[in-house]
Amino acid sequence: MVRQPLIAATLAALTFASPVLAQSTAMQMSDSERSAFRAEVRAYLMENPEVIFEAVSEFERRNQAQQGEMDLALVEINAEAIFDDGHSWATGNLEGDITLVEFMDYRCGFCRRAQPEVLSMLEADGNIRLIIKELPILGPDSEIMSRFAVAVQQLAGDEAYGAVHDALMAWEGSVTPDDLRSIAADIGFDAEPALAAMNSPEVNQVLNENRALAQRLQISGTPTFVMGDGTGGELLRGYMPAAEMSNVVTRLRG
């Protein structure tokens, strides 16, 4: 009979060993030894099921650490496209020591939830620049909204874009060209040039560059944030309250 401590040690070794090592170990056993070992492993796990959860927890911890290291490398490699692409709208302190970049979609509920958190952090800190990157991934309405917003920025400037951005973030339901005309009228500019330019090569270029960058950064959902000093930083995947983002700011400032 194999003692439980020995089984535990063997389990730990097999759990965290490489697949090659695990396969090699199994091949060295005879059929009877393999059957006996499996029976002992099963008996041990039935008596000590917490071992499974400990192994899963350790596996997830290692995966997260590896993903974090990869994210740091991805941000550094793509720093210029992230922090200084020449077309993304920026607000907050444009000379701030920390830049927060948000990949967002107007139809994303968590993007809407994040907006007041981001703005409150910018107001409280006073030394953060915010960059918005349009990433419409949630269907036709997302695409229409982003195309209109980008066209407005290109034709009417940053101030008009900021107002349209806020209006679209608060918009409920589907959006039509008449809805966009109404939004523009409330802000005080003519929507027709922007509506005509929504499918222009210039608008296409912005959205295509944003999508390509998101793909390189392995971004699959919104909101996704990048926070850094312009040369590197951290990827923050998903919604985060202001307090958690502020903790990242503190860590980045050292």
Residues 157-205: pLDDT tens digits? 999 999 999 999 999 999 999 999 999 999 999 999 999 999 999 999 9
Q: Which residue type is seen at 212? A: A
Q: How far apart are CA 104 and CA 151, in angstroms?
A: 17
Residues 25 and 107 in one domain: no
pLDDT in the model for residue 1: 44
The answer to whether 151 and 200 have CB atoms below 8 angstroms apart is yes
Residue 127's SS3 state is: coil
The string of DSSP codes covering 14-46 is HHHS-HHHHHHHHHTS-HHHHHHHHHHHHHHHH
What residues make up the domain containing 59? 4-77
Query: How many domains is the chain partitioned into structurally?
Result: 2
Residues 142 and 117 in one domain: yes
Of the three residues 31, 46, 77, the one that is the final residue of a domain is 77
Residues 71 and 119 in one domain: no
Of the three residues 60, 77, 94, the one that is the final residue of a domain is 77
The reported pTM is 0.76
Residues 126 and 173 in one domain: yes
Residues 34 and 115 in one domain: no
Of the three residues 33, 61, 77, the one that is the final residue of a domain is 77
What is the per-residue pLDDT across 206-217, written as a single tens digit (0 to 9) for each?
999 999 999 999
Structure-block tokens of residue 215: 């793909």
- Please give the backbone phi and psi of residue 101, each rounded to the nearest 5 degrees, phi first: -110, 130
CATH number at residue 226: 3.40.30.10
Residues 25 and 136 in one domain: no
Residue 33's SS3 state is: helix
Residues 173 and 148 in one domain: yes
Residues 167 and 248 in one domain: yes
Is the per-residue pLDDT at 51 higher than 70? no
Residues 119 and 192 in one domain: yes
Q: What DSSP state is assigned to residue 207?
A: H
Residues 61 and 113 in one domain: no
Q: Which residue type is seen at 110? A: F
